[in-house]
Structure 1
Amino acid sequence: MSKPNQTMQRKSASSGEQQSSSSHHETAVETKASLSELTAAVQKVQEASSWWDLYGVDWCYIASGFAMIPPGLLLLRHQTWPPFIAGLILLGFYYGMLKTKMSHLATHSALCRSKLANRFWQLFFIEFCGSFSAEYAIGAHVKVHHPYTNVIGLGDSSTWRVPSLPRYIYLFVAPLFLPVMTPIGAVVFLLQDKKVLKAFQCFIVVSLGLVANISLLMFVSGLTAKVAVLSTLVYRALMDIPYIHVNIFQHIGLPMYARDSRPPRLHLMSSGVLNLSHNLLLDWNFGHSLIACHIEHHLFPKLSDNMCLKIQPIVQKYLQEHGLPYQKRGYLDRLKFFTKEYKMLMVDAPPITQFIGVQ
């Protein structure tokens, strides 16, 4: 989940990434595009969609993630390394989906129509299984990051910037420590916001989840308590490198705005969000709304991953016909770009893009 910089006009070293955004920005100020018009077109698709399209497809993906738990636990019973490592990988893929796709959809109440059921899934996926705070995830992601996407100091993905770390440490080593930092951070963030009761609730639910997880490894896989704890940290870190990458690749390096001069929502989302190219593993593990349909997700955050994929042609056509950006890059292209321009993107303060206004 997202739990959460940025340039449009920068050095010539990044011109290849930025030129298309800059040209789109120039044409966008003359557009007659309307978010309400696009919303009406998307709502027609929603109304014509079945429960299967709205929720069923994604629940099948979620079920496939949970289906990896039994073979993963059984493989950990083996005394030889190859099956043991295979078990860790299966559990790592399951947890990668839990931490991103399942928790992300739960955060946006996109798993079902019932508010009560969505609240249950938030606590189950985010806190009990994911060892993070549902309260903080919703506050930081839904209430700040989404309405203030790429607005400096609010929704600018600054949570993921750690300027003190060298580029290779930040991109390939630091993410491996997230399994330890995540539950601690969940409680600390809530305490900083003076939400003591919520912090206590989070601590209890997260603790119960960790105890249940370690107990499964001990009583089903036959591991000692120490090995069970270490195995949990290892498999939970498996997908954390691409998890951090995805969190920064789709916003940082794009136009940034000041809070009092940000553009209308349609332009804000089209200029400040980027889709990654389809990737079989990441599409399955993280979900379409976090990979290939991130623009669609930011425009219509309550839609499921499958519905984001279904409306993608409509959104892309509408934005392009009205001269607005529809940005898409490959995962490896963005990784090369961030590795090369790390100081500019992740260390230096991002410049503000001046938006004139839609004519």
Structure 2
Amino acid sequence: MALDEKKHDVILTDDELSRKVIDGTVSGNEVTILDYVNLKKLPEFADLNTQVTAIVNQSSWWELYGIDWLVTLQGVLGSFLAYWLMGLDSILYFGLGIVLLGICHSVLATKAGHCAAHGAFCVSPAWNRFWTVFFVEFIGSFSADVAVDIHIKSHHPHTNIIGMGDSSTFRMPMIPCIPYLFITPLCVPILTPVVGALTLLDKPLKLIRMLIIVILGLSTNIYFMTTISGLSLWQAVICTFVSRSIMGIPYIHINIFQHIGLPMYSRDNRPKRIYLMSTAVLNLPRNIILDRAFGHGIINCHVEHHLFPRLSDNMCLTIKPIVSSFLKNNGLPYNEKTYLNRLKLFVNKYEELMVNAPPITHFVGLQ
């Protein structure tokens, strides 16, 4: 930490600031971001934007959208392969089919739905809207309207601003650590449509539309299981739940790992956007399964995604070296931690991070 005689010239490293937040010495009205950083000396986001825009303008349609379309197509084809495997007379192939179906469901509902909701799935806003409804509601069984409201309009512009976009959705103080981290996530397939519906109780038309699309989506999945896999109706219902639970644990883990435990700010003393995103967002390392199931923008390029949310997963990966160098060269943190490192942190500090934190529980959706 570099010290100057003036208090406003004290700049903490990310680890120091995070540690103070966790220890409770940066909270409420005691200390704000203004006590550590002279905001006038921060680099301009426009400078980084100029570099990124130059790369985007030189990129082909294939780089901007095509590669992510290919991954999405793999999710569709993988789903039908999973249905076929589940119909074979082998417990091993049946289990493999369940796992494959769960991963492919995440590719479509989470990765593709996330891109479409951000307008990063194709050029046309109208088609992005269509694909958002298709992937989030028809495939993912959640409300596209709610997902956009809480993710695009709340979480992204107000990342880690207490009471606005601070990821409190995922805090459940009444549940102990181990059940929360390893058992509760298995209920995500049931909780998702229920929470989506409850959130829309004051908007009956949107609720009715969501219920119709969700029921059609679930019915289609069950139909494929009964016709291709040869399962009975109840077997298909149970297998739908089980397959969609496969990625439930990493889904919850990733959503809490990448923001909770990092610096949080009050809405009255929020820093400039470049500093907010560099301190309050974290990347996880590349992983062949998680990259496919959730996308680079959620896994190993989450910092890039929060700075440039309208870019596709492939483009977030493309600009990663530019963003990393810019932040580091300007003395800003570029947070990268391993999955195991973050898991240990949450197990050891669960009470501080997930119980004593501000209990805001009415937000649910994509992270």
Q: Which TM-score applies when normalising by structure 1? A: 0.89
Q: CA deviation at 1:79?
A: 3.7
1:299 partner amino acid: L
Mapping for residues 1-359 of structure 1, pairs under 5 Å: 8-10=19-21, 26=36, 29=39, 31-191=41-201, 194-349=202-357
**Aligned residue identity for 2:137:** E
Give the drift of 1:147.
Answer: 0.3
Tell me, in whole angstroms, the C-alpha distance in 2 between the residues paired with 1:109 and 1:10.
34
Distance (whole Å) between structure 2 residues aligned to residue 69 and residue 349 of structure 1: 39
Runs of 4+ in 1 over 4 A off after TM superposition: 10-13, 25-30
CA distance in 2, matches of 1:111, 1:223: 34
Residue identity opposite 1:58 in structure 2: D
Following superposition, the deviation at residue 250 of structure 1 comes to 0.4
Cα distance in structure 2, aligned partners of 1:344 and 1:128: 37
Q: How many Å apart are 1:115 and its aligned residue?
A: 1.3
Listed one character per residue, the Cα deviations across residues 46-74 of structure 1 (whole Å, up to 9, x for unaligned) are 11111011001111111111121222111
Distance in 2 (alpha carbons) for counterparts of 1:184 and 1:38:
41
Instruction: Give the superposition deviation at 1:12.
Output: 6.6
Query: Take 2:267 and 2:98, find their aligned partners in 1: how far apart are those partners?
Result: 44
- CA drift of 1:80 comes to 3.2
- Give yes or no for contact 2:159–2:276 (8 Å, CA) kept in 1: yes
Look up the equivalent residue of 2:306 and give its one-letter code: H
Give me the whole-angstrom Cα distance separating, in 2, the residues matched to 1:144 and 1:54. 25
- Distance, in Å, in 2 between the alignment partners of 1:176 and 1:201 is 26
3-state SS of 1:328 partner: coil
CA apart distance, 1:11: 5.8
> Deviation at 1:76?
1.4
Cα contact 2:48–2:323 (8 A) shared by 1: yes
Q: Secondary structure at the match of 2:336?
A: strand
Q: Which residue of 2 aligns with 1:18?
A: none
Contact 2:284–2:299 under 8 Å retained in 1: yes
Q: Provide the rounded CA distance (Å) in 1 between the counterparts of 2:87 and 2:23.
A: 55
* Aligned residue in 2 for 1:3: none
Shift of 1:291: 0.7
Secondary structure of the residue aligned to 2:141 is coil
Deviation of the 1:286 alpha carbon: 1.0
Report the 3-state secondary structure (helix = DSSP H, G, I; strand = E; otherwise coil) of the residue aligned with 2:41.
coil
The higher-RCO structure (CA 8 Å, 6+ apart) is: 1
Report what 2:4 is aligned to.
none
| Distance (Å, rounded) in 2 between the aligned partners of 1:60 and 1:220 | 24
Q: What is the Cα deviation at residue 173 of structure 1?
A: 0.3
Judged with a 3 Å threshold, the aligned counterparts in structure 2 of structure 1 residues 233 and 320 are, in CA distance, closer, same or farther, namely same
Q: Contact (CA 8 Å) 1:28, 1:267: kept in 2 or not?
A: no
Alpha-carbon distance, 1:10 to partner? 4.5
Q: How many residues align?
A: 336
CA distance in 2, matches of 1:324, 1:166: 35
Counterparts of 1:11 and 1:232 in 2: how far apart (Å)? 39
Structure 1 stretches lacking a partner, 5+ long: 1-5, 14-21, 351-359
Answer yes or no: is the 8 Å Cα contact 1:109–1:118 preserved in 2.
yes
